[in-house]
Amino acid sequence: MPKFDRPSATNIGTPVYHRRRRHWMDDRDLMEELAAAVYKLGGPYDYYDKGVYAFREKIKLFRTTGYENNQQVFYFGSWIRERLAELSRKNGSYDLRIHAISFPVNLDETITQMEHRIEEVYPAVIPDSYYEALFPDNQVRTFARERTQVLHNGDLVAYLSSLVSKEQISLRTNSASIMDLIHICEFKLSNQNLNVRKKYVVGETDLWVPSLSLGVEIRNSWELNDEIPLLRTLSDTNFRLQARHLVVVVPDDMNDETFKLLRKIEKRKVFENLSILRVGVLGDYISKIKEIEGK
């Protein structure tokens, strides 16, 4: 097999919780990592800076009240991710232990401004009473409101309709989560103006991108006895389609230990053209493949 350049999860990945929030724990983990850098002796932050003091006090409050019970957590997390995006654009990448974020003295005002910005983009068109009636549990209600805003611009009817559609799919397939991952991958590929073919045949990857000679295999779980079938699929795709690139895509929330076990296949270099990635960095991977192929 000829040797190919291939992007690796280690050089294009960032921690899951640095990317767009999927759960309140993503905000908690991000803020706690940032707090560790703020408190570090000899780190990039001035302990006596007023903005740094405001950040420390805010983290104390979140720890006291609980991250999951404080509405400010979502908006503050969004503000932090904007600052991280700025660091990434400025430096090409960032390390929270080295690169400092400038905290405003009045964090409450900053968080309020972020809340207003988000509400302007995703207007709350549904009265709170509707959410309270449909979702009596406070945590479920908060999650539903966020998903409605992020995915459907505040249209609760559209959100509920999408849930019913997914339920229908789950009744027709073995695994709804696999279908969700396939749809996400298709979306990321279509965003890069790539034609995608769904294979769904024995011995070939789930998706095939002809212009890049790229096979995309989706896995939402991993056990040791899954290795032989996966290797067979990748090998057959290489042989039948003359793939230049292969990628195995897993969920962002796959635990680190399982992900490391799966990535051992890549590190063993069973296939020189194979990358194993979380779905959150698939867009970056595709960009790098396009560069390699000169597309």
Q: Domain ranges in the chain?
A: 14-121, 123-172, 175-293
pLDDT of residue 37: 92
Look over the chain and give the mean of its residue pLDDT values, rounded to a whole number.
83
User: Which residues sit opposite 277 in a β-bridge?
Assistant: 249
Q: What is the CA radius of gyration of the chain?
A: 22
Taking the model in full, what pTM does it have? 0.48
Instruction: Please report, for residues 25, 103, 278, the alpha-carbon distance to residue 89 in angstroms, rounded to integers and kept in the order given.
Output: 26, 18, 22
Does 210 score more than 60 pLDDT? Answer: yes
Distance CA 87, CA 291 (A): 23
pLDDT of residue 111: 93
Q: Comparing C-alpha atoms, which of 115, 75, 80 is closest to residue 101?
A: 80
Residues 253-277: tens digit of each pLDDT: 888 899 999 999 999 988 999 999 9
Does 174 score more than 60 pLDDT? Answer: no
Residue 112 in tokens:
């309020």
Residue with the bigger pLDDT between 236 and 92: it is 236
Does 209 score more than 90 pLDDT? Answer: yes
Mean pLDDT computed over 199-228: 88
Instruction: Please report, for residues 119, 145, 146, 149, 263, the alpha-carbon distance to residue 123 in angstroms, rounded to integers and kept in the order given.
Output: 5, 11, 11, 7, 42
Does 20 score more than 70 pLDDT? Answer: no
Does 91 score more than 90 pLDDT? Answer: no
pLDDT of residue 176: 45
Distance CA 171, CA 206 (A): 20
Distance CA 166, CA 179 (A): 9
Q: Which sign does the torsion angle of CA 166, 168, 172, 174 carry?
A: positive
Listed range (9-18, 158-167, 189-198, 283-292) with the worst mean pLDDT: 9-18
Residues 115-131: tens digit of each pLDDT: 888 766 555 445 667 77
For 156-175, letters b (16+ CB in 10 Å) and e give beebeeeeeeeeeeeeeeee
